[in-house]
Structure 1
């Protein structure tokens, strides 16, 4: 059934438009639209009553055309099981709300919108399969010299290569940092003595073996050190000789090539110190025996067995010469303050082993001299005596009167002021063997009295 509109200038107008959008306020425009629709022609443009309506319509049309042009046609979405739940959520007005209301359950914006202006990372900026470009790495990271020096200082004190690798490898992030790491390891190795050069060489080889550094990084570090050698010598007077031995060792072991080192030296003809260092390198390469002697374990970096043998030699020479000053100089050359408690133990062992009162007096005087001159730390006295007390059950096998001899030794040390009353009380009194009664023989050697009352040699 057809419907008519009588509100437009008294004319009867047939309603043929289904939606309110298709209606026109002007009857003439509506008639034109009806004619166009019946004949398949484009509909006339709807006129607006005011400038504000025209402006609003233009803005809506522009926004609508802009949004549709940015949209990328996508394939039809498959029907999923949560469509009903999404529809319910949208009917509640949750979608598009602020985060406190919807709990971040929905994303803002259109689901099928694709941003065609996303930043694309150039693959050429990524080095070695990494995720960051070099420019970004240089901006974010910086080589922390203080952390490197702290890790190296700790390594030179404890000698643990594993701990040093764990501390240093986290500071490597690009080629420049690797070259600087090799340079700092070599530079810090040039200070103090040859033993530190040996430690630096071991750490450098560990970094190379693990793949953290390459021979190119080492060559770059050597070139920089040779260029700065004149300034380094002001702080480290022996740096040139130590650097020469280190470079010669690297070339001798095949870490770097001799031809590559020749290329570096050819660029440094203007530097007198660099050329002198290069001459020392070639001298060590021509004399492998001398180079081998430079990299033997020595000083505080030697194994404990080597240090123990050196201390035993020092004590044997002292028992022959009685020169306490010579012992002081020899201990100073060892640079083994951390192992001086072993010297205190060895002095006590020799006092028990020689079994002579004069020997005990001489050895007690030696400890007192070393303590007064500062070559022996007071903190090493107690650990050395406690170890001697602990070893008494084993010493009894070779020295039957070890407990009695140790009692005499402790009393002499207490009399000279070496030990305190508290340490004296820690001497074991009861042993698995019966106590021996000691007496001094005609030649000054201690003897013990057996059950029959006869004097017998202690050992």
Structure 2
């Protein structure tokens, strides 16, 4: 056994050496013919049935030929040696090697070129949107499509708001009007109303705005008149305005319960609307002879009287007799001067206090104090001096004018006294007297009194008078 095993190993080594030499030297044909004449059915599932040297030699030749075939097919793409169908080794045949399955379906370039970009610029393949920035043309409708509907071919789709119902009208429009009373921007109100589909409720907007203004301040009524003038034409028509005021006149018996002066106020709104040309001039005349309610008659009479007064020069836009923080400063100053002059003539402190409160400018009351003191400095006699002092005392006691506004008014006079003294030579002397009297009556405190300026140069009488100071010459 040992002898046969050793002999087998030696034969194996010799055979390997002979096989390599035979293929290199071009003796493949002899080996191929030798393999074809041998019976190679001695291998089952990789196990050798015989251990003879011839069987081992034949198997090794076949395995080496297969390895060479695989190597040449992948490297030379068909060039070199190959095996025929019966296992014969053939050199230089034109049999194309079969590629692996993974490389057969691979569509990548094998040249090693390319920039790594997607194929077709990302515009091809399943489930893609196409190349970025690509604009598609109009899609042609296939009339043979079973889902084709001729009625939908020229359809236009748009967002439509449902008409506003009557139960939702007041709670939708009232916040818009209330917010307008704060900012006073009519353009914003017009945009908000345009977004709503008012439908038949369009004519209810003016009546709702006027009803809210009746319970508000005088400045809010002025803003309401401006709102109606700006909405007419862009959002509302003149027929909407007329039907809305007709409704207000019919509802006057109910409005009087909450606002006793509703007939007069509605009459003022009608007169202002006629003046702003949102109501026709014949609107009041159309009610003659067919008015049975006393409140409606009072409102129309008030409107007719105001329109007749406009012929004499009265401006309808000043009918509310109030200002507000949105009015120009010069107009507020003018109204305060008129208020003071009316008080000097009438002497009615309560009426002056009411008018000042109706101006609705508590942050601007220091201007009223300034104008009142300047009026005292420019006046002649003691009447204006005493009446202005009484007015400031009453306004300070009722807190109509706060301590801060009173202090600012006095300080403004202190700063301008040098210029006032140019036109009024006795301004320093009168101011000192007025400040002392204001302190004694409790209008101002000691700090404001001590800030009162005085002239630096004091004039004396002649030496024969004993050097007494002339108080009137300060």
Corresponding residue pairs, total: 329
Equivalent residue, structure 2, for 1:57: none
Question: Judging changes above 3 Å, is the alpha-carbon distance between structure 1 residues 436 and 332 closer, same or farther for their aligned structure 2 residues?
Answer: farther
Partner of 1:34: none
- Match for 1:449 among 460, 469, 473? 460
Give 1:183's aligned residue: 207
Q: Deviations over 1:36-62 (max 9, x none)?
A: xxxxxxxxxxxxxxxxxxxxxxxxxxx
> Which segments of 5 or more consecutive residues in structure 1 lack a partner in the other structure?
1-83, 156-162, 438-447
1:135 matched to which residue of 2? 162
Residue 348 of structure 1: aligned partner = 373
Alpha-carbon spacing, 1:207–1:90, altered in 2? closer, same or farther (3 Å):
closer
Structure 2: give runs of 5+ residues left out of the alignment: 1-116, 142-146
Report the equivalent of 1:164: 185
Q: Any conservation in 1 of the 2:389–2:438 contact (CA below 8 Å)?
A: yes
Shift of 1:218: 0.9
CA offsets 1:20-40 (integer angstroms, 9 cap, x no match): xxxxxxxxxxxxxxxxxxxxx
CA RMSD across the alignment: 4.8
Aligned-pair CA distance for 1:451: 9.2
Aligned to 1:289: 308
TM-score, scaled relative to structure 2: 0.54
Give 1:372 deviation, angstroms.
1.6
Q: CA deviation at 1:290?
A: 4.4
Match of residue 122 from structure 2: 89
**For residues 242-270 of structure 1, what are the alpha-carbon distances to aligned partners after superposition, in whole Å with 9 as ceiling and x for unaligned?**
2233224434664323667777x69x97x
Q: Show the counterpart of 1:245.
A: 268
Distance 1:259 1:353 in 2: 50
* CA distance in structure 1 between the aligned counterparts of 2:433 and 2:305, rounded to whole angstroms: 57
Q: Which residue of 2 aligns with 1:68?
A: none
Q: Which residue is 1:398 aligned to?
A: 423
Conserved? CA contact 2:426–2:472, under 8 Å: no
Paired residues for 1:184-333 under 5 Å: 184-191=208-215, 197-208=221-232, 211-251=234-274, 254-257=277-280, 273=293, 276-277=295-296, 280-281=299-300, 284-285=303-304, 288-290=307-309, 295=316, 296-297=318-319, 299-301=321-323, 303-314=331-342, 316-317=344-345, 326-333=348-355
> Does the alignment pair 1:384 with 2:398?
no
Distance in 1, matches of 2:306 and 2:384, equals 45
Helix, strand or coil at the partner of 2:410: helix
In the TM superposition, what is the alpha-carbon distance from 1:297 to its structure 2 partner?
Answer: 4.3
- Residues 278, 317 of structure 1: CA spacing in aligned structure 2 closer, same or farther, 3 A cutoff? closer
Counterparts of 1:294 and 1:164 in 2: how far apart (Å)? Answer: 23
Quick check: 1:251–1:258 contact (8 Å CA) kept in 2? yes
Contact 2:429–2:473 (CA under 8 A) maintained in structure 1: no
Q: CA deviation at 1:235?
A: 1.4
Aligned equivalents of 2:228 and 2:265: distance in 1?
15
Does the residue aligned with 1:389 lie in a helix, a strand or coil?
helix
Cα deviation 1:270-325 (Å, max 9, x = unaligned): x954x74157426744884346659344532393254233233245347xxxx6xx
Q: Which of 161, 173, 178 is 1:145 aligned to? A: 173
Q: Is the alpha carbon distance of 1:185 and 1:359 closer, same or farther for their aligned partners in structure 2, counting shifts above 3 Å?
A: closer
Give how far 1:371 is off.
Answer: 1.8
Cα deviation per residue 1:385-423 (whole Å; 9 max; x = unaligned)? 122123212102023353454344334433433223443
Q: Do 1:215 and 1:255's aligned partners in 2 also have CA atoms closer than 8 Å? A: yes
